[in-house]
Structure 1
Amino acid sequence: MKMIALLHLFILPYLYSVQDDGKIRQLHSELEQTNEQAVRADILSDISQAYRSSNPKEAIQYGNKAIEAAEKADDVKVLAKAINTTGAGFFMLGDFESAANKYYEALRLRESIGDSVGICLSYNNIGNIYISQHNYTKAEEYYNKALRLANHIKDKTSISRTLNNLGSSSLKQGAYEQALKYYKAALPLKEELEDKPGVIAALSNIGLIYSTAGNYQAALTYQLRALAIADEIQSLHDKTYVLRGLSEAYWVSKDYDKAVYYAKLSLEEAQKLNAKDHIRLSAELLNNIYTTIGDFKNAHAYLTLYSQYNDSVQTEKAMMQISSMQVKYDTELKEKENLQLKTNGNLQAKQLHQKTLIQYGIGTLLAISVLFSIIAYRGSKRLRQINKQLFIKNEQIMAFHHELSEKKKAIVEQSDQLQKQKEELVRLNEVKNKLFSIVAHDLRGPLVSLKSLLQLLSVGALPEDKLRQFAKTLESEQQNTLWLLDNLLIWARSQMEGLNTKANTMHIAALVQENIELLTPQAQRKDITITNKVAPNVAPITMADDEMIKMVLRNLISNAIKFCNAGDSITIETQSTDYFLTVIVQDTGIGIDAKSQEKIFGFRSLTTRGTALEKGSGLGLALCKDFIEQNGGRIWVESEPGVGSSFKFTLPSMGTAQRQMASKLDFLL
C-alpha cells in the first residue's frame, strides 16, 4: 500500500498553515508606534515570518524592508534575522537558489558576531535546501553541524529542531529505525519546552514509522496521544493530519471500518479549514481504502473529489512559481536602475580622470614593459621550480589533514558512545537507589510490627482483646504492603525493561465495580461510603490494557480512602466524547493545596500520612501517570483544601458507530 500521502503529511506539517491575521494586525500596530530602526527591522522580520506560508511574495517584500531598516540601524544580529526571513520567503516560493544565497549571507553575519543560536538555525535552513534537492548527504552534514553546536551551547530548542530534521531526512530515505531514534530523542525536549505543535508532529511521525514496521498497536498509541493534544489545544489543522494518520494505521492493519471512519473525520476537519491540500490527501486516502475493499462506487466519488482539489493545488503551485519569477525580475530591474543612476553621476568625473591617467600611463607602461620582460625571463625558470615544490608540499599537507580528520571523527564517535553508556549507568544506579530507599523505608515498618507481635505471642504477654485489635491493624498494614510491592515491582520492571501495553476492548464499569468490592472493607473501617455512578448498560466501550487500568483505579480509590475522614464519601463516574472516555474519582476529603498539586505525580516527590496516619510510598500516582500515558490518555487533579479532590484521567474511546458495531459483534458471538 502507498505511503506517499503519509510522507507528504508528517514531514511538512506546517506547510499549509492558516495566516494569523490577528498577529499581523498587532505587529503593524507596534510598527506604527516606533521610529527606532533596529526595533522596526525586528518587527518587519516578524511580519515577514507571519506571511511566509500564506503569502510568500508578501513575506519577501517585508523581509527586504526589514533589511533596509537593519542596515540603517547598523545592527548585525537584526540584519542577519531579516536576511534569513527573506530567504524563508524565497524557499516557500520554490526559488531555492535565492533562498540559499540569503541563508549563506545570514550565516556569514552570524559567524562574524558569534551568534551560536542563529548559526544553528542557519545550518538547519541550509540543510532544508539540500533536502528539497534530495541531496540527503549534504543535508545531514549541515544538520549534524547544527546538532554538535546546539549540544555544546545546551540550547534545547535548537537541539529538538535539529533532531526533528534529521528524523525527517532519515524517514524520506526509508531509514525508519534511524528516523525513530531521532524523533524519540526530540519528543521529550519538545514536551519540556511545551512546544505542543512540535510534540504532535513528533508523535505522529513515530506512529507513522510503527505503522510501516507493522507494529499497529504502538502506532495507534502514539497517534491517539497526538490526537489528545491536538484536541486539547483546539488545533483543527493538527487534528486533520493526526486523524488521517490514524486512518492510515487502521488501513494498513486491514481494519477498514475504522480506517474509513477516521479518514472521513479528517476530511470533515479539512473542509472546515478549507485546507485544499489536506482535502486532496484525505479524499485520495478514502479512494484507496474503498478501492481496497471493492466499494468502487464510493471510491469513484472520492477520486472525483481528489481530482478537483488536485487540479486546484497544482494551479496554486504554478501561481507560486510565477510569483517567484516576478520577484526575481523586479529585484534585477531595481538593481539595474540603481546601477544606471550611479553610473550617470560618476561618468563625467571618470572621463576627466581617465584622460590624465592615459597620459601618465603610456610613458609608465613603456618603462614597465621593458623591465617586466627582463624580470620575466630570469624568473620563469625559478618560478616553475617553486611551483613544483609547493605542489608536493600541498599534497603532503592534504594527506596529513585527511588523516587527522579521520582520527578526530573516530574520537568523537567513541566519546559519544562512552557518554551514552555513562548516562545509562547513571540512570540504572538511580533506579537501584530508589528501590533500596523504598525497601528500607516503607517495607521495613510492617515487617518490624509483625516481628514484635510474634515475640509477644511467643511469651504469652498479649491479652486476647489486644490480640484482636493488633491483628486488625496488622492485616491492614500487610494488605497495604502487598499493594506497595505490586506497585514497586511493576515500576521497577518498567524502568529496567519498559512496559508492554496490551490494549483490548473492555467495559470500564466492570473494572470500577471490581475495585470497589476489593476496597470496601478498608473504607468501612473508616466509615466512608463509595458510590459507583458508572451504569453497566450505558458505559462506553474503550480500548486499553485492562490490568493497567485496574491498577490505576485501585491506587486512586485507595488514595481517596486514605485522605477522607469518617462520614466522607467517594464517587466514581464517567464522561464520554467520540474520541475519549473521562473517568473521575471524586472525594469529599481533606483536599490538596496548589503547591502540592504541581508535584503530586512525581516519583516520591510528595508523601504524606492519611487522616488515620496511614503511610504512603509516593509511588502509586507516578505509576498511574505512566500507565495512562502508555494507553494514549492523560491524568490530572482538581482539588481545594477542605473541600475534596477529583482525580481525572482519559482513555481512547470508540465513537457511536463503533459502539454499535461492537454490540452487534457481541450479540453474534
Structure 2
Amino acid sequence: MRKVLRIAFVVLLYVFISTGIMAQSVKHNASLDTSYVVNLLDELSNEINKGNIELAKQKAREAKSISIEIDFDDGIVRSELTLVDAYLTEKLLDSAETLIQHLILTHPESKYRARMHNFEAVAYNYRENNIEAINAFNQAEKYLDRVPAESRDRMGAGITMNRASSYMKIGDRISGFESYLSSLRFAEQSGDTLILIIGLNNLGDSYTNFKEFDKAVFYLERALTLVEEKELDSERLRILMNLANAKTGQEEYSEAESLYKEALELHKKVRQNIPPYQILFNMGKLYVDMGEYDQAYEYLSESLEYCVTLNIPQGIYFNQFGLGQLYFFQKDYPKAIDWLKKAYVQAEMIGSLPMIQDAREYLYESYKLNGAYNEALVVYEEFVHVNDSLKEVESNSKIAEFRSELELDRQTELNRLLEEKQHEQEARLEIQFILILAASIVIALIFILLIQSYRATRKMEELNAQLQNQKEELEQVSKTKDKLFAIISHDLRSPLSSMQGLLYLINSDHLTLSEIKDLVKNIEPTMRKNVDTMENLLAWAREQLSGVKLSIDNINIQPVVEGVIDNHSLQIEAKNIEVHQQYTVTNALADSNALRLVVRNLITNAIKFTPKGGNIFIQSIEDSEDDNMVRFSIKDTGIGIPESMRDTLFKPFSETRRGTAQEKGSGFGLSICKEFVERMNGSLTFESKENEGSTFIIKLPKSS
C-alpha cells in the first residue's frame, strides 16, 4: 500500500513539475528539430563535469521544452536524466530520486533504462543505503543490452566502478576489488580517461578507509594529474578532498590543510548552491588530529548542521563521530560518550559495518576511561565478534589475489614513472652539463678579460703615478728655478750694484780716503753675506747636477768653527753678540768642506735671528745617548722658530723671514745642511721656543 501511495505521489509531483515547465516554456520556432536538441544535450555532460550546474539545468529544461513541443521522446528522457545528474551533483537527493522514479514508471522500455537504475543506485549510495545501491546497480546491468553497442562497454564499466564503492562500504572487499580491477582494466584498454579518473579516485578513497595511505596517495595523485589535463572541475574537487584525507592520515597536516582550502575555493565555483559540508567535516577532523580543538568544534558543528538540514545520513554520522573523538581527546568522556552513541545509532541505521566498528571502538574506550565497565564490556564483545568476521573476510584468498593484482599494477606504474623520471633526469643532467660547460667557457673568457683589464689598469695607474711624480718634480723644479732667479736677481744683484756705485765714486775722486774706508766697512757684511749665498748656491747646484762626492776623514771641529766665527766677526760685533765655546770632544768623521758649509749656515742663522746684546753658545761634547757619536750644538738666545715653519724648515727654498736686523735669507741653506750631515752618516735636529731661542744639534760619528 505504501509503495502504491509513493508511486501515486511521484506521478502527481511529476505532473505538477511538467505543468509548471510547460506554462513557462517559450514557443519555439518550428524549424527547431531533433538534431538541435541532441547537440544541445551532448554539451551538458561536460558542463556538469566543469561545475557549470545551473547552466546545465537551464539547457536541460530548454531541451525538454523543445522535445515536448516537437514530440521527441528520446530528447525528453535525456533532458530529465541530465537534470537527475545535476541534482545528484548538487546532492539534491529528494529531487533526483523523484525524477528517477518517474522516468522508470513512465519509460519502462527506454534504451536509457540502465542509466536510470545507475543514477538510482548513486542516490542510494549518497544516502549510505549500500544494499539498495548494489541492487540498483545489478538492475542497471540487466538493461545493458538496450544500450547502443558503441557505448555499452563504457556504461558497464561505469556501473561496475560505482558498485565497487558500495561493496567496499558494506565490507565486501572481494567484490569491491574485483569491480575496481574490472573497470580499471576497461578504462586503460579503451583509453577512457573519465572512467580511469573516477576509478583511481574511488580506489584511492578506499585505501584511505583501509588506512593504507601510501597506496591511497599514489592512486589519488595519478587521478589528479589526469583530471588537471582534462579540466574536469567536479572530479578535481572530489580528488582534492580525498587526497587531503590521505595526507591527513600520513600526518602531513600542513599539506592537507592547503588541499582542503583549495577544495573549498573550488567548491564555491562548481557547487555554488550546495553547502560544503563534506569539506568542513574533513577540516574539522584535521584540526582534531592537530589538537586545535576549538577550531575543530566550529567546523564539525557547522558541517553537522548542514547535514541535518539536507538529511545526509553519512554526513550526520561522520560529524557526530568526529565530535565524539574531539571530546575523547580532550578527556571529556561523558560528552564523548553522548556523541559516540549518536554516531553508533546513525551507523546502524546506515548499515555500514566499518562505521559501526569505529563507533564501538571509541565507545568502548570512553566507557572504560569513564569507569562504566559493564557498558564497556558489552560494546567490546560486539566489537570483537564483528571484527573477527571482518578479519576472516580479509584473509580470504580471493581478496588477496585481487589486491595483489592491483599492487602489481601499482608497482608496474611506479617502475614506469621511475624510468620516465630517470630519462628526464639524464636529459636534465646532459643539458646541465652543456650549460655548465658553456658557463665555464664564458667565465674563463670573462676571467681572462678581467686579468687583461686589471693589467691594463695597473699599467695605466703606474703611468699615471709616474706622470704625477714627474708633474710634481717639474712643479718643484719650476718653483726652485723661480726662487733661484729671485735670489740671483735680487739678493745678489743689490750688493753688486752697491759695489759698482762705490767703484764709480772712488774713480770719480769725489770721496776722501776716510769716507772710502767707512763705505768699505759698511759694505763688507753685505759682501760676506753674498759670498755665503754664492757658496750655498754653488754647493746646491753641484748637488743637483751631478752630486757632490764627499771625502770622509778625521776632522777637528774647533778650527772649522773658529774660522767661521772669524769670517763673520763684523756681523757679530755689529750686533754686540757674545759667542761662548765649549769643546770636550773635537774630532769627528766628516768632510771638511761640507762641515764648514753646515757650520757657517748654522752660525749665520744664529747671528741673523739673535738680537743685539744676545748670546750664542757653541758646544762639542760626547753624545750621552751613543758613545760613538759627537754632539755638536749651536744655541742662540734669539726669536725662535714659529710653529707654522717647523714642518718645512729643512725643505729646499722653504718660507723665510727677516732677521732681527732685517737680514734676508735664501731659504735653502738648512736643506743643504741636513742633506750633507746625513750623507756624513750623522743627523741634524733642532729645538726651539718662540722668543727664547733655538738650538741646532749635529750628531756625527766620533773619530778613533
TM-score of the alignment, normalized to the shorter chain, above 0.5: no
Q: Which of 1 and 2 has higher RCO (CA within 8 Å, sep 6+)?
A: 1
Length-normalised TM-score, structure 2: 0.36
